[in-house]
């Protein structure tokens, strides 16, 4: 019989260190390491397309998942259906989606995801809330204390 076995080791400080996985061949009288499992498993999984392994593992109720690239994640219908990947409002350019905030407060609607503000984009509004009038803000700009607002490219 062939099995996978995980081992761990105790350091001199008494803490447990991560160990190794071994592929073992068991018989009535011996136990020997056959080979490291990763290359062995890579060889097996390379023999069939991913759709085959989905069918095999789903058929025997094994929890598993494929490692996906960024574009596959963004296009995953399950993530969209669960509002994990959501449209990105007014981002412009190539940005169309983002990861939704994982925080959900009962009774409070989530704010739609939006782009981050550009540097200085809200300077005037903040200074006005702090009591500065337009003349004083212009004076701060003229002195170089506050940079000139940049136009946002759409």
Q: How far apart are CA 126 and CA 68, in angstroms?
A: 42
Which pLDDT score, from 0 to 100, does residue 35 have? 55
pLDDT averaged over the chain? 75
Q: Please, what's the b/e burial string for 15-43 (b: 16 or more CB within 10 A of its CB; e: otherwise)?
A: eeeeeeebbbeeeeeeeeeeeebeeeeee
The pLDDT > 70 percentage for the chain reads 71
Nearest to 37 by CA among 2, 87, 86: 2
Average pLDDT over residues 49-74: 82
* 83 in Cβ contact with 108 (< 8 Å): no
Q: For residue range 91-142, what is the model confidence (pLDDT) as tens digits?
A: 777 788 888 888 889 999 888 888 888 888 899 999 999 999 999 999 999 9
Euclidean distance between CA atoms 123 and 149, whole angstroms: 8
**So what's the pLDDT on residue 133?**
95
In the predicted structure, residue 62 carries a pLDDT above the cut 70: yes
* The predicted structure's pLDDT at residue 5: 43
Q: DSSP alpha helices (H): ranges in the chain?
A: 37-45, 50-59, 70-74, 77-81, 123-129, 134-143
3-state secondary structure string across 49-69: CHHHHHHHHHHCCCCCCCCCC
- For the cut 50, the answer to whether the pLDDT of residue 2 exceeds it is no
């Amino acid at each position: 019989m062939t099995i996978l076995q995980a081992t761990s080791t105790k350091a001199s400080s008494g803490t447990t260190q991560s160990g190794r996985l071994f592929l073992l061949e068991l018989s009535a009288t011996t136990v020997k390491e056959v080979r490291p499992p990763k290359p062995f498993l890579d060889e097996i999984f390379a023999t069939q397309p991913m759709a085959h392994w989905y069918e095999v593992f789903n058929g025997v109720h094994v929890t598993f998942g494929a490692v996906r690239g960024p574009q596959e994640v963004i296009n995953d219908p399950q993530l969209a259906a669960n509002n994990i990947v959501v449209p990105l409002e007014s981002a412009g350019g190539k940005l169309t989606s983002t990861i939704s905030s994982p925080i959900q407060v009962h009774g409070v609607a989530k704010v739609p995801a939006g782009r981050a503000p550009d540097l200085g984009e809200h300077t005037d509004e903040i200074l006005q809330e702090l009591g500065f009038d337009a003349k004083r803000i212009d004076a701060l700009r003229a002195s170089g204390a506050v940079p000139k607002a940049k136009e946002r490219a759409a």
